């Protein structure tokens, strides 16, 4: 683990609604970035699961490498892929 980025969990740190909305904004921005790069995606749910698991693997890799900042970035991408999958399902992809 990178000694400049210790694994510290705050005790009794509550995320306030403003901080939570900022996280949701990051996820929305990542969705915009994904759509700009890949256009609208309408995959079969099994394909979406493959995409999601690849992103989750990147979270795991970041943790193994000791980078919490990279882990956080990857988690935003995981959340955005989940949103993209929901959007696709709501559009009726099969």
Residues 8-38: tens digit of each pLDDT: 565 667 888 999 999 999 999 999 999 999 9
Q: Which of 61, 42, 53 is nearest to 78 (CA)?
A: 53
Specify if 32 maps to a domain.
no
Q: Where is average pLDDT lowest: 50-54, 56-60, 66-70, 86-90?
A: 66-70
DSSP class of residue 44 equals -
Specify if 65 maps to a domain.
yes
* pLDDT of res. 94: 52
Total count of domains within the chain: 1
pLDDT over 80 at 93, yes or no: no
* pLDDT of res. 83: 98
Domain, as residue range, for 79: 42-94
Specify if 87 maps to a domain.
yes
Specify if 74 maps to a domain.
yes
Q: Which of 55, 52, 67, 54 is nearest to 7 (CA)?
A: 67
State how far the Cα of 22 lies from the Cα of 18, in Å rounded to an integer.
6
Specify if 58 maps to a domain.
yes
Rounded to two decimals, the pTM is 0.84
CB crowding 49-84: b at 16 or more within 10 Å, else e: eeebeebeebbeebeeeebeebbebbbbbbbbbebb
């Amino acid at each position: 683990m990178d000694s400049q980025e210790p694994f510290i969990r705050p005790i009794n740190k509550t995320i306030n609604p403003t901080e939570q909305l900022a996280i949701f904004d990051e996820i929305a921005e990542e969705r915009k970035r994904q759509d700009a790069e890949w256009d609208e995606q309408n995959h079969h749910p099994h394909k979406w699961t493959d995409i999601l698991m690849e992103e989750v693997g990147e979270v795991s890799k970041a943790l193994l490498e000791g980078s919490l900042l990279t882990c956080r970035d990857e988690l935003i991408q995981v959340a955005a892929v989940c949103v993209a999958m929901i959007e696709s399902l709501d559009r009726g992809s099969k």
